[in-house]
Amino acid sequence: MTLDINSAKNIASVLTEALPYIQRFTGKTIVVKYGGNAMIDEELKNSFARDIVLMKLVGMHPIVVHGGGPQIGSLLEKLDIKSDFVDGMRVTDSATMDVVEMVLGGLVNKEIVSLLNKNGGKAVGITGKDGDFIRATKLKVTRKTPEMEAPEIIDIGHVGEVESMNPDIIQMMAGSDFIPVIAPIGADDTGQSYNINADIVAGKVAELVMAEKLILLTNIAGVQDKDGNVLTGLTTEQVNSLIEDGTIHGGMLPKINCALNAVNSGVISAQIIDGRVPHAVLLEVFTDEGIGTLISNKR
């Protein structure tokens, strides 16, 4: 079968557009937080895997950090374990933490590893507990209302935050033929396990390896203005202004703060992109227009 001339021209145009980006990012580390619809829809799962493998094959060093909230919720429901949430965070008792470890460190992590390997990559799955990679501490949640004299401390169980990271494992894998796939579970100095927000872990990994890019997949088109238009390029100063005037609020705030912290800590740029678009990562990395919102310190 031969291509018609228009199809051939389109393919050539795409390849030549990608070339400068391949040259620019060869040898660079790109951290991708994988979650949302891209983890559920079969077409999106396969397009994501091919994007990551392609990045590795052309000389980039992708690192995948994944979530798994819907999968955790589904198994908890099957096991008849009730889920409660505080400010969007799952209250995680010992029984729930066992399920979180099974799902994130086992089922989801190994599914992503298998998907990448099936598409020609060499992926290795780890959790933050492997090699003492992520040292965690218990996340302290407080709530204050006008009638309270002092803030209320709310115990949400085995939910943690990153205290420190050991760079040895991730740097060893990122500089090899392997693609690291990280489940966001850490442990404290007693060995107690904690579930950590995947966006936060991705941002901290990006800071640790001084990544060229941090890409956060979401279920929306990107950061939007008050009229619903996607803001494609923002400086950190502009982002802070949008937070102050209330344009950025609610569920987008944690992702934005994660991106801001990464960029302010030396990551060249952070992208919040629509994971519902097939090959979203490839479109972000290899095309002039990109997809979603780019945040950088450039003026």
Mean pLDDT of the chain: 86
Is the C-alpha dihedral spanning 208, 161, 255, 239 positive or negative? negative
Give bridge partners of residue 127 from the DSSP assignment: 183
Domains parsed from the chain with CATH numbers: 27-296 (3.40.1160.10)
Lowest mean pLDDT among 76-85, 178-187, 256-265: 76-85
- Asked if 259 contacts 234 with a C-beta cutoff of 8 angstroms, the reply is no
Give CA–CA dist 169/173, Å, rounded: 6
The string of pLDDT tens digits covering residues 96-138 is 899 999 999 999 999 999 999 999 999 999 999 999 999 999 9
**What is residue 157's DSSP assignment?**
B
**Selection from 248, 253, 249 nearest residue 216 by Cα:** 253
Q: How far, CA to CA in Å, does 271 sit from each of 21, 73, 221, 222, 252?
A: 15, 27, 11, 9, 13
pLDDT tens digits for range 9-62: 566 666 777 788 888 889 999 999 998 878 888 889 999 999 999 999 999 999
| Cβ(54)–Cβ(285) below 8 Å | no
Mean per-residue pLDDT for 61-82? 90
3-state secondary structure at position 150: coil
Average pLDDT over residues 257-277: 90
Asked whether residue 277 carries a pLDDT value surpassing 60, the answer given is yes
CA distance 151 to 220: 33
Of 220 and 79, more confident: 79
**What is the spatial distance between Cα 114 and Cα 199, in angstroms, rounded to a whole number?**
22
Nearest to 184 by CA among 32, 93, 31, 66: 66
Place of tokens 């066992």: 98
The predicted model gives 161-187 an average pLDDT of 89
Short-list 168, 170, 142, CA closest to 155:
142
For residue 120, give Cα distances in angstroms to 51, 141, 179, 299. 11, 43, 11, 39
Q: Is the pLDDT of residue 141 over 80?
A: no
pLDDT, position 156: 83
Residue 83: exposed, middle, or buried by beta-carbon count in 10 A (0-12, 13-18, 19+)? middle
Q: At what angle do helices 198-208 and 252-264 cross, to 10 degrees?
A: 10
Dist. CA 150–CA 62, nearest whole Å: 45
Task: Check residues 137 and 149 and name the one with the higher pLDDT.
Answer: 137
Residue given tokens 């997949």 in the structure block: 217
pLDDT at position 6: 64
User: What is the pLDDT, as a whole number, of residue 286?
Assistant: 83
